[in-house]
Amino acid sequence: MNSSMFDERKIDQNYKFRRYLKEHADELELDRQFKMLHEKYFKDFDCSKCRNCCKRLGVSMSEIELDKICKYYNLDKSNLINNVLKEEYGEYIASPCPFLNKDNSCKIEKCLPKSCIEYPYTNKSERLYSLLGVVKNSEVCPVVYKILEELKTIYNFK
Ligand code: SF4
């Protein structure tokens, strides 16, 4: 993401927009708008040219997911736990993602954890209650950034 896109003014505006939505948006209508914009912008976006989420947020998986990955790719689970991943609140995490190749391809693409599949969650329900996450993700994900910008236009927010 172009860093100039994220000056202090933009961050401040996004937090103000979050507050505006909290006070003015209808929960179901906002979910419908998020889903529509998610489909619109992800339809033509090639995530393999970005991978900001893998680089800046990293990976998080449950033990069941880790087991599946190790089995599918014939990886040594103890080695991953001891040397690559960290356990936090019952999840195995690492940042940046250690499974991202230099060419931006993913070493575990055939067995992705749910959190990778679902990120950035903009097509999920109850966005009105997750706007803080949306605003934070707009600093990482260029698609979330575009979605927020279009929502500002829809709501005539300046
Ligand atoms: S940050 Fe967003 S656009 Fe970039 S790879 Fe992740 S989901 Fe795709």
Would you say the CB of residue 1 lies under 6 angstroms from ligand 1? Answer: no
pLDDT digits (tens, 9 = 90+) for 104-153: 999 999 999 999 999 999 999 999 999 999 999 999 999 999 999 999 99
Instruction: Determine which helix (DSSP H) or strand (DSSP E) holds 92, and give its type and residue range.
Output: strand 91-94
Phi and psi at residue 86, to the nearest 5°: -125, 140
How far does residue 12's CA lie from ligand 1's centre (Å)? 22
Atom of ligand 1 nearest to the CA of 120: 7
Q: What angle do CA 153, 25, 155 make, to 5 degrees?
A: 15
Average pLDDT, the chain: 96
Question: Which band of pLDDT confidence, cut at 50, 70 and 90, is reported for residue 46?
Answer: very high
129: burial class by Cβ within 10 Å (0-12, 13-18, 19+)? Answer: exposed
Pairing of strands 86-88, 91-94: antiparallel
Tokens of 37: 């914009």
* CA dihedral sign of residues 123, 128, 129, 133: positive
Would you say the CB of residue 141 lies under 6 angstroms from ligand 1? Answer: yes
Domain ranges for the chain, please list them: 1-158
